[in-house]
Homo-oligomer: A and B are copies of this chain.
Amino acid sequence: MNDVIQSLILENPTKIVLLVLDGLGDLPNADKGGMTPLEAARTPNLDALAPNSTLGRLQPVAPGITPGSGPGHLGLFGYDPLRTIVGRGVLEALGAGIELKPGDVAARANFCTVDGAGVVTDRRAGRIPNETCARLVGMLQQGAARFDDVDVVLQAGKGHRFVAVFRGPGLGGEVSDADPHREGKPIPSARAQVLEAPHEKTARLVNAFIRRAGEVLKNEHPANAALARGFSARPHLPGYRDRFKLRAAAIAAYPMYRGVAQLAGMDVKVPGGETAADAFALARGVWGDHDFFFIHVKGTDMAGEDGDFDAKVAVIEQVDAALPQLMALAPDVLCVTGDHSTPVPMKGHSWHPVPVLIRARYGFSDGFTRFHEKTCRGGHLGILASKDLMAVLLANAGRLDKYGA
């Protein structure tokens, strides 16, 4: 499918905006008169767009599948999330703001407690404070940061958690966990799961790192050793420029989303704050140099995760209030949607399709007076797989040639 799209790409001066309200989709909330946050929000600017826009719903991965943020965004960026696998370690590293380079292998790591015989007695080292984690990571950066020709890039996370990125020539990501996954067992050696030199090299260096970490930390308490799991190599994805001939900018306040966008070959930009207004201001600043703008707003997802209906409504209203700033740039194609649903009643991601609005010159005007989950059921787009959204946006931008004579 994507090969077909790639073969049809045309270039023109159009500008496409993909505005993602993270976790936008929701359910009718019984205690709010059966309304969804998008339905309850006062959105005069979206309302003004709605009648002349195309509505519908996006299916992020497949029916019934609740996506994490990685698969959710990969779909929006035109990759099939069932075929484009971004490993746990890579997502964790991207989320920590580590800029991954080709060839990097990333892992999620923990500080843990081992007894004198090397048996893990607490996988989370008593859930040490963040400050302790940062101090211990500092110790490893001194004493366990290079093995042969490979650097280990470390970054402290919350409590017992940190990220380890192995950077150097000839590494592979198919390596088993150096983590027993339960107490009462010693730390297992990492092993290559594919018997080829790159994976074997990674396994060897991971084991050297874990050993050295144990030596460096041996007098610490309670965190006197380290575990690592979820090894994964930075995937090589064909990027927006090659696939779509688009100069793409990613504007996101949170590192995870910039990270996934960077995998897709976008130029990542950090707005001055977390609001839509901050993001739109930055879009104006980079408008001339790009054709495609992925703009990420996190607040809707956070409010959904908190089960806070009013907060989700407030974020949507903030976005709506700032929208004239974005419209003043006169994008040729504007798409407003989410990467997945995060319904308030569920306080978490869900499998429900996500409302989508596309405003473009030759879009089908659905004529609805509002944009929300219920009007979107009747929209022209029907239920569209997220991975196919890019093709629709390109088409609306006049950037896809006819297929066949």
Contacts of A374 in B (CB 8 A): 367
Most buried by B among A4, A28, A72, A388: A28
Residue interface mask A45-79, B partner, CB < 8 A = 1:
00000000000010001111111111110000000
Decide: A392 and B351 in contact? CB cutoff 8 A: yes
Decide: B66 and A402 in contact? CB cutoff 8 A: yes
Decide: B346 and A362 in contact? CB cutoff 8 A: yes
Complex Cα distance, B65 from A390, in Å, reads 11
Decide: B27 and A364 in contact? CB cutoff 8 A: yes
Complex Cα distance, B402 from A366, in Å, reads 33
Nearest chain-B residue to A62 (Cβ)?
B1
Decide: A68 and B404 in contact? CB cutoff 8 A: yes
Nearest chain-B residue to A350 (Cβ)?
B362
The A354-405 residues at the B interface (CB cut-off 8 A) are: 362, 364-367, 373-374, 377-380, 382-385, 388-395, 400-405
Complex Cα distance, B70 from A345, in Å, reads 39
User: Does A349 interact with chain B (Cβ within 8 Å)?
Assistant: yes
Complex Cα distance, B403 from A70, in Å, reads 9
Complex Cα distance, B63 from A34, in Å, reads 32
Decide: A82 and B1 in contact? CB cutoff 8 A: yes
Decide: A57 and B391 in contact? CB cutoff 8 A: no
| Residues of chain A at interface, number, CB under 8 A | 64
User: Does A179 interact with chain B (Cβ within 8 Å)?
Assistant: no
Complex Cα distance, B355 from A228, in Å, reads 49
Nearest chain-B residue to A55 (Cβ)?
B377
Stretch of A84-92, A118-126, A263-271, A322-330 with 4 or more beta carbons under 8 angstroms from chain B: A84-92
Complex Cα distance, B64 from A384, in Å, reads 11
Decide: A67 and B382 in contact? CB cutoff 8 A: no
Contacts of A366 in B (CB 8 A): 377
Decide: A27 and B388 in contact? CB cutoff 8 A: no
Most buried by B among A350, A364, A367, A401: A364
Within the complex, the shortest CB–CB distance from A61 to chain B, in Å, comes to 6
Contacts of A88 in B (CB 8 A): 405
User: Does A172 interact with chain B (Cβ within 8 Å)?
Assistant: no
Nearest chain-B residue to A384 (Cβ)?
B63
Decide: A402 and B67 in contact? CB cutoff 8 A: yes
> Which residues does A use to contact B, with CB under 8 Å?
1, 4-5, 8, 27-28, 34, 57, 61-72, 81-82, 85-86, 88, 91-92, 343, 345-346, 349-353, 362, 364-367, 373-374, 377-380, 382-385, 388-395, 400-405
Given A64-B394, A65-B403, A70-B404, 17 new contacts (CB under 8 A) = A27-B365, A34-B367, A57-B382, A63-B388, A64-B391, A66-B401, A69-B404, A85-B404, A91-B404, A345-B362, A346-B362, A350-B395, A351-B395, A352-B364, A377-B378, A377-B379, A378-B378
18 example contacts (A-B, Cβ-Cβ < 8 A) are as follows A4-B62, A5-B64, A8-B65, A28-B365, A64-B395, A66-B400, A66-B402, A71-B403, A86-B404, A91-B404, A343-B362, A345-B362, A349-B402, A353-B380, A367-B374, A377-B378, A377-B382, A382-B382
